[in-house]
Protein backbone atom coordinates (compact mmCIF):
# COMPACT_ATOMS: atom_id res chain seq x y z
CA UNK A 1 0.00 0.00 0.00
CA UNK A 2 1.31 3.44 -0.95
CA UNK A 3 2.17 5.52 2.10
CA UNK A 4 3.67 8.92 2.91
CA UNK A 5 5.06 9.97 6.30
CA UNK A 6 6.29 13.48 7.01
CA UNK A 7 8.52 14.56 9.87
CA UNK A 8 8.63 16.46 12.06
CA UNK A 9 4.94 17.26 12.56
CA UNK A 10 5.88 20.78 13.66
CA UNK A 11 9.07 22.78 13.40
CA UNK A 12 9.89 26.10 15.00
CA UNK A 13 12.84 28.07 13.65
CA UNK A 14 14.38 31.43 14.25
CA UNK A 15 14.67 33.69 11.24
CA UNK A 16 17.84 32.72 9.36
CA UNK A 17 18.08 29.26 10.95
CA UNK A 18 18.27 26.74 8.10
CA UNK A 19 16.69 23.29 8.42
CA UNK A 20 15.12 20.40 6.51
CA UNK A 21 11.73 18.73 6.34
CA UNK A 22 11.51 15.02 5.60
CA UNK A 23 9.06 13.04 3.50
CA UNK A 24 9.43 9.25 3.58
CA UNK A 25 7.40 7.24 1.11
CA UNK A 26 6.58 3.77 -0.11
CA UNK A 27 5.02 3.40 -3.53
CA UNK A 28 4.83 0.52 -5.99
CA UNK A 29 6.38 2.63 -8.74
CA UNK A 30 6.97 6.36 -8.46
CA UNK A 31 5.57 8.60 -11.16
CA UNK A 32 6.16 11.78 -9.21
CA UNK A 33 6.65 13.30 -5.77
CA UNK A 34 5.03 16.66 -5.14
CA UNK A 35 5.63 19.40 -2.57
CA UNK A 36 2.94 21.92 -1.67
CA UNK A 37 2.75 24.86 0.69
CA UNK A 38 -0.53 25.54 2.54
CA UNK A 39 -1.34 28.70 4.48
CA UNK A 40 -4.09 28.55 7.14
CA UNK A 41 -7.59 28.47 5.65
CA UNK A 42 -6.29 28.32 2.07
CA UNK A 43 -5.75 25.67 -0.57
CA UNK A 44 -2.36 24.04 -1.11
CA UNK A 45 0.00 25.93 -3.43
CA UNK A 46 2.10 23.81 -5.78
CA UNK A 47 5.87 24.11 -5.26
CA UNK A 48 7.78 21.27 -6.95
CA UNK A 49 7.53 17.97 -8.75
CA UNK A 50 10.40 15.47 -8.55
CA UNK A 51 10.41 12.46 -10.85
CA UNK A 52 13.55 10.41 -10.19
CA UNK A 53 16.16 9.77 -7.52
CA UNK A 54 18.93 12.35 -7.57
CA UNK A 55 16.74 15.10 -8.93
CA UNK A 56 16.81 18.51 -7.22
CA UNK A 57 14.71 21.65 -7.69
CA UNK A 58 15.01 25.10 -6.17
CA UNK A 59 12.76 28.08 -5.65
CA UNK A 60 13.98 31.07 -3.67
CA UNK A 61 14.94 29.73 -0.20
CA UNK A 62 13.54 26.25 -0.86
CA UNK A 63 15.35 23.26 -2.33
CA UNK A 64 13.76 19.85 -2.80
CA UNK A 65 15.72 16.64 -3.23
CA UNK A 66 14.69 13.05 -3.90
CA UNK A 67 16.07 9.59 -3.15
CA UNK A 68 14.45 6.20 -3.69
CA UNK A 69 12.89 6.27 -0.23
CA UNK A 70 12.53 9.89 0.81
CA UNK A 71 12.51 13.52 -0.14
CA UNK A 72 13.84 16.52 1.72
CA UNK A 73 12.70 20.10 1.57
CA UNK A 74 15.64 22.25 2.63
CA UNK A 75 14.89 25.77 3.82
CA UNK A 76 17.87 28.13 3.76
CA UNK A 77 17.84 31.26 5.92
CA UNK A 78 14.06 31.19 6.39
CA UNK A 79 11.97 34.30 6.87
CA UNK A 80 8.70 34.67 8.84
CA UNK A 81 6.76 34.64 5.56
CA UNK A 82 7.92 31.05 5.02
CA UNK A 83 5.69 30.01 7.92
CA UNK A 84 3.10 27.55 6.59
CA UNK A 85 2.27 23.85 6.46
CA UNK A 86 4.31 21.97 3.88
CA UNK A 87 2.67 18.94 2.28
CA UNK A 88 4.29 16.06 0.43
CA UNK A 89 2.43 13.71 -1.91
CA UNK A 90 3.35 10.78 -4.16
CA UNK A 91 1.74 9.43 -7.30
CA UNK A 92 2.29 5.91 -8.59
CA UNK A 93 3.28 5.10 -12.14
CA UNK A 94 -0.26 4.09 -13.03
CA UNK A 95 -1.02 7.79 -12.98
CA UNK A 96 -3.34 7.28 -10.07
CA UNK A 97 -4.35 9.42 -7.18
CA UNK A 98 -2.00 11.48 -5.04
CA UNK A 99 -1.27 10.09 -1.58
CA UNK A 100 -0.62 12.94 0.84
CA UNK A 101 1.34 13.00 4.07
CA UNK A 102 -0.04 14.76 7.13
CA UNK A 103 2.21 17.78 6.62
CA UNK A 104 4.87 19.65 8.58
CA UNK A 105 3.78 22.88 10.22
CA UNK A 106 6.66 25.34 9.99
CA UNK A 107 6.83 28.45 12.16
CA UNK A 108 9.62 31.00 11.63
CA UNK A 109 10.00 33.62 14.35
CA UNK A 110 11.70 36.99 13.73
Whole-angstrom Cα distance, residue 12 to residue 25?
A: 24
Judged by CB under 8 A, does residue 87 bind another protein?
yes
**Spatial contact of 98 and 85, defined as CB atoms under 8 Å apart:** no
Task: List the x/- string, 25-54, binding to another protein by CB under 8 A.
Answer: -------x-x-x----xxxxxx--x-----
Whole-angstrom Cα distance, residue 108 to residue 63?
A: 17
The secondary structure element, H or E, covering residue 89 is strand 84-92
Sole window of 18-26, 54-62, 63-71, 99-107 interacting with another protein (rule: CB under 8 A): 99-107
Judged by CB under 8 A, does residue 98 bind another protein?
yes
Residues that bind another protein (CB under 8 A): 4, 32, 34, 36, 41-46, 49, 87, 89, 91, 95-103
Amino acid sequence: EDQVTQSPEALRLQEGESSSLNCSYTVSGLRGLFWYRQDPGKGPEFLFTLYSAGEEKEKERLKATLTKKESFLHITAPKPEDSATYLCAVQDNQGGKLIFGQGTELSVKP
